[in-house]
Structure 1
Amino acid sequence: MTSSEETDRESEPLLDSESSLVDEESSPLLSQNGTLDPGKQTDGSNPRRSTHVLFRIGAAMFSFIVLGMMVSTLGVMVPQFETYYSLSDLQVSSIFLVWPVGYILAAYLNGVIHVKFGQRGIATIGPLFHIILANIASLHPPFPVLLVGLAIGSLGTGVLDGSFCAWAGGMGNANVVQGFLHGSFSAGAALGPFLAGTMLSVGHTPWYSWYYVLFGASILEAITLTLAFRFEDSAKYHLTHKQLPLPQPPPETKTSIFTHPVTWLCAIYFLACVSTESAISGWVVVFMTRVNRASPYLSSLSSSMFWIGQATGRLALGPVTNKLGVRTATIIYLITALACEALFASIRVPAIAAILIALLGFCLGPLFPAGVVAVTRLLPRELHVGAISFVVLVGQLGGALLPFALGALADILSIRVFQVVIFVQLLSTLLIWLAFPRLPLDSVHRGEQRREAVQ
Structure 2
Amino acid sequence: MGLEAGQLSSPADQSHGLPLNDLSKSGIEELAPVETAPSNAVAVSEATEITFPIAMKLSSACFAFVTAGINDGSFGSLVPYILAGYDIGTGSVAIIYGVTFAGWVVAAIIGGYVRVYAGSGGALVLGALVQLLAQVLRVWKPPFALFCISFFLIALGQAFQDSNSNTFVATVKGAHRWLGLIHASYSIGLLIGPFVATAIATSGSGRWPLYYSFPLGLGVVNLVLVTWAFRDDIALRRSVIGAGGEAVKSSDTVWKETKATLQKKVVWLLSMFYFFYLGAAFTAGGWLVEYLVTVRNIKLSTAGYIPTAFYGGTVLGRLLLPEPTYRFGERRMLLLYAVLCCALEVVFWRVDNLISSTVAIALMGFLLGPNFATGMSVASKLIPKEIHASALGLIFVVAQAGAAIFPAITGVVAANAGVGTLQPMLIGVLIAMGLSWALVPKFDDKNE
Same fold, TM-score > 0.5, yes or no:
yes
The alignment status of 1:298 with 2:275, answered yes or no, reads: no
Which aligned pairs between 1:212-227 and structure 2 lie closer than 5 A? 212-227=213-228
> 2: distance between equivalents of 1:31 and 1:272?
38
Q: 1:23 to 1:203 in 2, by over 3 A?
A: farther
User: Which of 268, 281, 284 in structure 2 is aligned with 1:280?
Assistant: 284
AA of the residue aligned to 2:202: S
Name the counterpart of 1:332.
336
> 2: distance between equivalents of 1:31 and 1:222?
25
Name the counterpart of 1:310.
314
Structure showing greater radius of gyration is 1
Contact in 2 for aligned 1:139/1:208 (Cα 8 Å): yes
User: Which of 21, 24, 43 in structure 1 is aligned with 2:17?
Assistant: 24
> 2: distance between equivalents of 1:238 and 1:146?
35
Q: 1:261 to 1:353 in 2, by over 3 A?
A: same
The alignment status of 1:269 with 2:273, answered yes or no, reads: yes
AA of the residue aligned to 2:198: G
1:24 partner SS: coil
The alignment status of 1:362 with 2:366, answered yes or no, reads: yes
> Higher mean Cα deviation, 60-69 or 326-335?
326-335
Name the counterpart of 1:189.
190
Name the counterpart of 2:145.
144
Q: 1:427 to 1:202 in 2, by over 3 A?
A: same
Q: CA deviation at 1:327?
A: 3.6
Q: 1:304 to 1:245 in 2, by over 3 A?
A: farther
2:298 partner SS: coil
Q: TM-score, normalised by structure 1?
A: 0.77
Name the counterpart of 2:25.
none
Contact in 1 for aligned 2:180/2:373 (Cα 8 Å): no
Q: TM-score, normalised by structure 2?
A: 0.78
Q: CA deviation at 1:323?
A: 4.9
Q: CA deviation at 1:136?
A: 1.4
> 1: distance between equivalents of 2:297 and 2:221?
38
Contact in 1 for aligned 2:34/2:241 (Cα 8 Å): no
Contact in 2 for aligned 1:131/1:219 (Cα 8 Å): yes
AA of the residue aligned to 1:410: A
Q: CA deviation at 1:252?
A: 8.5
Q: 1:170 to 1:316 in 2, by over 3 A?
A: closer
Name the counterpart of 1:80.
81
> 2: distance between equivalents of 1:90 and 1:207?
20
Name the counterpart of 2:347.
343
Q: 1:376 to 1:129 in 2, by over 3 A?
A: closer
CA-to-aligned-CA distance 1:237-287 (integer Å, 9 cap, x gap): 899x865689xx9x9986466566655444333222221111111111111
What is the number of residues matched between the two proteins?
Answer: 411
> 1: distance between equivalents of 2:79 and 2:194?
12
> 2: distance between equivalents of 1:387 and 1:113?
15
Q: CA deviation at 1:230?
A: 4.4
CA-to-aligned-CA distance 1:54-80 (integer Å, 9 cap, x gap): 333323322221111112222222111
Instruction: Extract unaligned runs of 5+ from structure 1.
Output: 1-21, 447-455
Q: CA deviation at 1:416?
A: 0.5
Q: CA deviation at 1:381?
A: 7.3
> 1: distance between equivalents of 2:35 and 2:227?
30
Q: 1:57 to 1:84 in 2, by over 3 A?
A: same
Name the counterpart of 1:8.
none
Ranked by relative contact order (alpha carbons within 8 Å, sequence separation 6 or more), the top structure is 2
- Tell me the percent identity: 22
Which aligned pairs between 1:1-16 and structure 2 lie closer than 5 A? none
Q: 1:156 to 1:389 in 2, by over 3 A?
A: closer
1:348 partner SS: coil
Contact in 1 for aligned 2:176/2:373 (Cα 8 Å): no
Name the counterpart of 1:97.
98
> 2: distance between equivalents of 1:31 and 1:200?
49
Name the counterpart of 1:3.
none
AA of the residue aligned to 1:302: I
AA of the residue aligned to 1:24: G
> 2: distance between equivalents of 1:31 and 1:142?
44
1:126 partner SS: helix
Q: CA deviation at 1:88?
A: 0.9
> Higher mean Cα deviation, 157-166 or 418-427?
157-166
